[in-house]
Amino acid sequence: HEADIHHVQWPLQLATATFEADTMAASHGIERPPANPLLHFAGRLDVLVWPPRRVAG
């Protein structure tokens, strides 16, 4: 299925976070780089969504 959507450009803002535990990457054998991750945040955004339709294939 697919659906068309429309919204204005995401108003991204820089963000920070404190991670008490981060086990997802290690559990998949991925080593995180030593640098802090780059985070973004976007507040509420109104979105128009058209009804889903079946995709042939």
Give per-residue pLDDT as tens, 1-53.
Answer: 999 999 999 999 999 988 888 888 889 999 888 888 889 999 899 999 999 99
Q: Which residues have a Cβ under 8 Å from the Cβ of 47 and sit 6 or more positions away?
A: 5, 6, 7
**Distance between CA atoms of 3 and 50, rounded to whole angstroms?**
6
Give the pLDDT confidence score for residue 36 in this predicted structure: 82
Indicate the pTM of the whole model: 0.49
**Distance between CA atoms of 11 and 53, rounded to whole angstroms?**
29
Give the pLDDT confidence score for residue 9 in this predicted structure: 94
List the structure tokens of 23. 């086990």
Give the pLDDT confidence score for residue 35 in this predicted structure: 85
Domain ranges of the chain: 1-57
Whether pLDDT at 55 is above 90: yes
Give the pLDDT confidence score for residue 15 in this predicted structure: 93
Evaluate the CA torsion angle 31, 33, 37, 38 in order and state its sign: negative
